[in-house]
Chains A and B, each alone.
Chain A
């Protein structure tokens, strides 16, 4: 065995030396121009492709993470046609049609200099989601959707054109219709007590709640937006002026399907207070299932005028004015049914509650309207007093007024559990809101390049907002004690003065020290302060949020050899927030730190080989209440850690006169798992990798074939391994130029 292993070492050492020697021999050659690269066909071609996947494990997770159908796809991956027609017309057509992935694009453009252009197209692609909810490790609690595989199709159709005649204004017209339809997952998860945590029937005795909100739910999307645009632009000498009108009409009708406490039903007679017991079959809660449907139909009209001019060779000006008027009809329907045991059997009650209980809030009617007007203007000047100095100064102002009202009619059902007698409890709950804001944003930029091979720059902007927020909201509550189970609307008016001060400051330098070394450094700092102070009947109320954030970016590019370069970037971020409520003590509510180290190495030892490796290592943590809350609060929350690393490598090699080979590897790993009694999102823990080997071969000057095989593996600790998958893929293409 020893001998065999030794011989392997010799063999590998020999080949390693051979590689290095060969690399050195050809290193000097690497920077020379190419002799005969494989054809890089980018115009007038069709590329057909197919991919077949053999996935084991959670196929929905595979789809969601890889943006592709579980079985694979086939069709036209790319089509490009550019053609000069008669009378100097130019035609371009491009598109793709990948069945399986349901990914389609087709667009055509016809243009002629000094006449104009016409274009039309359709695009549709599918995004995938896995409806898996959360995971709790004590008894491997896991409540995914029955059908985990969800998807949303995004589609867009557009048609437009421009008339561009010499010395006349350019007229542009465009129509766009965008759709978003399908189902996607949500992190608005439902509750369960089936977590394996022992509970007492009396909540106050539970040292640790058994309840965890980890049950998967999903949203049905049905959204459409149509946009009509018309613009006219004219250039007089050094000045151009553009007038634009845009009308948007949209309709969204989205429904969230909610499932809480599935499979649970509290017995009519309460279970004993002792001893402690696991939840089933003596249950702590009642199932709630239903939907929350939200509808909106906005209409938005925007008029914009812009100009741009060159006052002198050194001074430029641009600016504009925009007015937007938006109205939206709003609607909704929320029906949550409570399954509850009564003396006469189990009932499903819309917003059902027992005297003293809290209803699952439901309403069958919501209608209303919002209106918003926004007037915006800006003026920016640029000045270049000397060749190496660039200055710009801008000012933007905005005036926003919004008002809205609605009528919600809650539909709840009061129940006397012993007799099963129910009473419908409809309650009207009107709401109103008014907001006005005026903001000013000055911006200043300087860039100086007067030092040889150095660029210095700074950017400053500061947004100052004053405003008013006035509203009246109605909520529904059951007073306690409340033996009659009376539900009462509670109306609250609010009056707030709003002030927002947002400063952003950036300073940086680039130094191209030599042909070998480039260094860049940049510091960005933002200081935000938002305050909302009550007046009138809201006097005494106040909320203040301060947010300071600093980002430091250091980049270095070192070309160690003509054939070897290394790019490194460090991005350090830290942020602090502080809050003060009702003139109470102001204290830190967040402490955030992140360090991101990225390195890319490019190595081209010989003309026939390249390798590129990238690694990104991230340390990222956010602290809020933990550990400062102390005592038992520290059992329910931990810092949010997002530590992870990603890596990718690609290598290409010339195999023979007609063939290239390419290897790719990618890896992602996160280990922030904290499975004890902290909140349901236990921390990302995942380890994924993908390896592919591909061959590209020139079959003729106009025909290139490519084949790739790969293996991928994903292990997810934070879902208890329930979303693990692994498998093989095979991909082939054929690209024909014409």
Chain B
């Protein structure tokens, strides 16, 4: 083992020394070797429409006035643009975050972590990109929130997950809170990107302290050893499994047959 470790160090040292004999640059991904910042006005020369809308985009908050803000704006994500300008806009001289998430991960360190989890959207595998759900150039980057767009936030998810779109005869009002109340769309340690892996997921909204039980003389919830949902103690059922297992509430996104979303 020691031989392996120390042999490795020696190998690396040798490599490092040898490489310093070569006058050539290697850059980390998402960096443009030898490029410098040119500022947003240069970008607008060709990308007028994009720059025009950026004023109202969430990421415009990154821009500041002053010498220290040089390079903030377009070049925060696309890399320094001088070589791109000089080359007349060639693709190999600019970073395209639409192809790789690395530009986003510069600041969104937590998202790099979440996309690295075993249950995540396949961004790290290159099958999806951040820009499929987020438009960094226009409006709210958390898509379809607020008033600036006509669509609703859940449509970001249902454009691909069409069978969850409904409308269902019996809807689950959790959809009012949005898909993200149950799923972390970037990634989770839990299957199906669930925010909680077990019955806690449902109990967040569904533990009860029903007046009917209190008036009937049944002790209240806290400390009585019961987990009451829908007026019934679900304690034993929760010992057996999660709320959405077979035979219980299988259709959690909404149902066309059962008001209790059992099937």
Contact = CB atoms under 8 A, between A and B. Distances in A.
**Co-complex (A, B):** yes
Given A452-B66, A646-B113, A668-B118, A684 B167 contact: no
A176 to B, nearest CB: 11
Contacts of B259: 431, 471, 473, 475, 492, 494
A189 B72 CA distance: 50
A449 B169 contact: no
A652 B26 contact: yes
B46 to A, nearest CB: 13
A631 B208 contact: no
A583 interface: yes
Nearest to B247: A260
A640 B26 CA distance: 44
A592 B258 CA distance: 31
A560 interface: no
Given A555-B107, A656-B18, A616 B112 contact: yes
A579 B221 contact: no
14 contacts: A15-B10, A64-B118, A214-B241, A250-B162, A453-B66, A512-B66, A512-B72, A532-B173, A579-B207, A582-B211, A607-B24, A608-B25, A610-B26, A654-B25
Contacts of B45: none
Interface string A291-335: 010101010000010100000000010101010001010101010
Interface in A663-703: 666, 668, 670, 672, 677-681, 683-684, 686, 688
B208 A584 contact: yes
B9 interface: yes
Given A292-B250, A666-B116, A453 B65 contact: yes
Interface string B43-65: 00000000000011000111111
Given A598-B109, A640-B196, A304 B150 contact: yes
A661 B20 CA distance: 14
Contacts of B227: 625, 629, 633, 636-637
Interface of B: 2, 5-6, 9-10, 12-13, 15-20, 22-29, 33-34, 55-56, 60-69, 72, 90-92, 105-110, 112-114, 116-118, 122, 125, 127, 145-150, 160, 162-163, 165-171, 173, 176-177, 188-192, 194-201, 203-212, 214, 220-227, 235-236, 238-242, 244-248, 250-251, 256-260, 262-263
B146 A443 contact: yes
A632 B256 contact: no
A679 B238 contact: yes
Contact of A390 (B55, B69, B105, B212): B55
A125 B225 CA distance: 49
Interface stretch (A40-48, A264-272, A479-487, A728-736): A40-48
Contacts of A455: 61-64
Contacts of B207: 579, 589, 624-625
A244 B191 CA distance: 39
Given A40-B92, A608-B25, A256 B256 contact: no
Most buried by A among B10, B239, B262: B239
B60 A42 contact: no
Given A188-B250, A512-B66, A587-B209, A36 B24 contact: yes
A628 interface: yes
Given A103-B127, A406-B169, A684-B190, A334 B203 contact: no
Contacts of A514: 68
Interface stretch (A113-121, A143-151, A374-382, A416-424): A374-382
A665 to B, nearest CB: 12
Contacts of B226: 629, 633
A67 interface: yes
A582 B212 contact: yes
Interface in A269-298: 288, 292, 294, 296, 298
Contacts of B56: 316, 382, 392, 445
A345 to B, nearest CB: 25
A531 to B, nearest CB: 11
Given A475-B259, A629-B221, A453 B64 contact: yes
Given A187-B244, A654-B26, 13 more contacts: A11-B9, A12-B10, A15-B9, A42-B90, A103-B127, A431-B169, A579-B206, A592-B204, A604-B28, A612-B28, A645-B113, A680-B242, A688-B118
Contact of A361 (B195, B223, B239, B263): B263
B12 to A, nearest CB: 7
A298 B241 CA distance: 34
A606 interface: yes
> What is the predominant secondary structure among interface residues of chain A facing chain B?
strand
A26 interface: yes
B191 A187 contact: yes
A344 interface: no
Contact of B61 (A457, A584, A586, A648): A457
B55 A581 contact: no
A459 interface: yes
Contact of A609 (B16, B61, B209, B257): B16
A254 B161 CA distance: 13
Interface string A573-594: 0000101111111110110100
Most buried by A among B16, B195, B220: B16
A442 to B, nearest CB: 6
Contacts of B165: 298
Given A37-B25, A254-B163, A636 B208 contact: no
Contact of B241 (A5, A600, A633, A679): A679
A18 B13 contact: yes
Contact of B118 (A600, A661, A686): A686
Interface in A406-452: 406, 408, 431-433, 435, 441-443, 445, 447, 449-450, 452
Contact of A610 (B20, B27, B67, B224): B27
A88 to B, nearest CB: 16
A65 B118 contact: yes
Contacts of A127: 122, 127
B28 A610 contact: yes
B6 A12 contact: yes
A180 B256 CA distance: 21
B218 to A, nearest CB: 12
A654 B24 contact: yes
A201 interface: no
A654 B28 contact: no
B9 A16 contact: yes
A671 B29 CA distance: 31
A653 B19 contact: yes
Contacts of B225: 629-634
Interface in A388-402: 388, 390, 392, 394-396, 402
Contacts of B9: 11-12, 15-16
A497 B62 CA distance: 43
A372 B250 CA distance: 24
Given A214-B241, A514-B68, A475 B260 contact: yes
Given A254-B163, A508-B61, A22 B17 contact: yes
A670 B61 CA distance: 35
Contact of B64 (A433, A454, A606, A618): A454
A492 B257 CA distance: 14
B203 A435 contact: no
Contacts of A326: 167
Contact of B203 (A447, A513, A602, A625): A625
Contacts of B160: 154
Interface string A550-582: 000001000000000001110100000101111
B210 A581 contact: yes
Interface in A196-235: 208-209, 211-215, 217, 221, 223, 225
